[in-house]
Amino acid sequence: MHALVYTGTQKIDYRKEKDPTPKPGESIIKVQASGICGSDMHAYHGNDERRIPPLILGHEISGISLDGKFKNKSVVVNPLISCENCDYCQNESEHLCPERTMVGMSTPIKRNGGLAELVSVPEKNIYEIPKNLSIKEAALAEPAAVALHAFLLAEKNLKKPLSECKILIQGAGAIGLLCGLFLNKEKNSKNIIMSDPNKKRLDECEKYLKASFVAPDDKSIKENHFDLILESVGLEITRHQAINSIAPGGTIVHIGLTQPSGTFNFKKLTIQEVTLVGTYCYTNNDFKNSLAILKDKKLGDLGWIEYRDLKKGSDAFQEIHNGNCIAPKIILIP
């Protein structure tokens, strides 16, 4: 098979690799679509110790199952693999499983991902694609589940209805846009500002999201102003802006993973009773619900997805790295 292989910092090679070997309890998927995630970019930048080159990245996967329970069916992969036995797994919080691993990751065991023509995944992580959902759009189920989980955490921790909140979304990538679409479509939230330094990407998001679109240094991002901030970037500078801009009693949902540490104004967090919630992934129920939401077209037109050939994937990584990519989400097609 051919695959995109992460071989070193800012190095992605399209080359021939061995076909995955069938394993008990797993199925081989002929990949039809696989998205580039922000965490794939962290690996590309050499900032993810869980993804060690050489490795086939990619965990937003849809395709055709070649064997097993779903043989010859169109399927989508939930890439989070949990132990199923711990307290978290037994209480529908499998996303917090201490032994959790993932497709397209090197630890605790190496498991190649879906930026390839074929991928092997546990059968328990495979879902049949609903009839009204295209196989290419189904690859969006995983990032949609991430955004859905973040959206639900926000609602749980806020002191007022989402429709009444002043909201800032930092980052105009797929997660930021999906969070905004959930707010628009599910909660009728309209008082939203989305910030990003990439004006072209903001212009693309503006076609689909009801919000104001600004650069990160815009004067509309005021101190002590927002009831909810969705931080989908994860830089020290964006965290500084989030804690500065959040209103007393407000909630910051931190989703970004770009910089793992740095300074932060914990004094304001404490004195003004700000809630800071971290979130990385989603539950199995979130994944199932995201599939249903996509099937029912509840997020509207998905024209903001750009589909490209897998063999040109290294160019896509470079374009995202350079910060001039227009599409909030690039999905690669083998």
Write out the chain's pLDDT in tens, 334 residues.
Answer: 999 999 999 999 999 999 999 899 999 999 999 999 999 999 999 988 999 999 999 999 999 999 999 999 999 999 999 999 999 999 999 999 999 999 999 988 899 999 999 999 999 999 999 999 999 999 999 999 999 999 999 999 999 999 999 999 999 999 999 999 999 999 999 999 999 999 999 999 999 999 999 999 999 999 999 999 999 999 999 999 999 999 999 999 999 989 989 999 999 999 999 999 999 999 999 999 999 999 999 999 999 999 999 999 999 999 999 998 999 999 999 9
Contacts of 152 (CB under 8 A, 6+ apart): 286
pLDDT at 144: 98
Is the distance from CB of 49 to CB of 83 less than 8 angstroms?
A: no
pLDDT at 27: 97
All domains of the chain in start order, with CATH: 2-129+304-333 (3.90.180.10), 144-278 (3.40.50.720)
SS3 for the chain, per residue? Answer: CEEEEEEECCEEEEEECCCCCCCCCEEEEEEEEEECCHHHHHHHCCCCCCCCCCEECCCEEEEEECCHHHCCCEEEECCEECCCCCHHHHCCCHHHCCCCEECCECCCCCECCCCECEEEEEHHHEEECCCCCCCCHHHHHHHHHHHHHHHHHHHHHCCCCHHHCCEEEECCCHHHHHHHHHHHHHHCCCCEEEECCCHHHHHHHHCCCCCEEECCCCCCCCCCCEEEEEECCCCHHHHHHHHHHEEEEEEEEECCCCCCCCCCCHHHHHHCCCEEEECCCCCHHHHHHHHHHHHCCCCCCCCCEEEEEHHHHHHHHHHHHHCCCCCCEEEEEC
> Which is nearest to 64 in space by CA: 31, 110, 95?
31
Is the distance from CB of 151 to CB of 183 less than 8 angstroms?
A: yes
Q: How far apart are CA 307 and CA 309, in angstroms?
A: 7
Is the distance from CB of 100 to CB of 109 less than 8 angstroms?
A: no
- Strand 74-77 and strand 126-128: the pairing is antiparallel
* Identity at 189, one-letter amino acid code: S
Q: How far apart are CA 132 and CA 182, in angstroms?
A: 20
> Which is nearest to 15 in space by CA: 53, 47, 66?
53
pLDDT at 108: 86
- Strand 60-65 and strand 74-77: the pairing is antiparallel
Q: How far apart are CA 184 and CA 145, in angstroms?
A: 16
Is the distance from CB of 35 to CB of 175 less than 8 angstroms?
A: no
pTM here is 0.96
Is the distance from CB of 136 to CB of 33 less than 8 angstroms?
A: yes
- Strand 192-195 and strand 212-214: the pairing is parallel
Question: 183: how many CB neighbours lie within 10 A of its CB?
Answer: 28
pLDDT at 22: 84
pLDDT at 9: 95
239: tokens are: 């965290």
Q: How far apart are CA 99 and CA 53, in angstroms?
A: 22
Q: ∠25-30-32 over CA atoms, to 5°?
A: 130
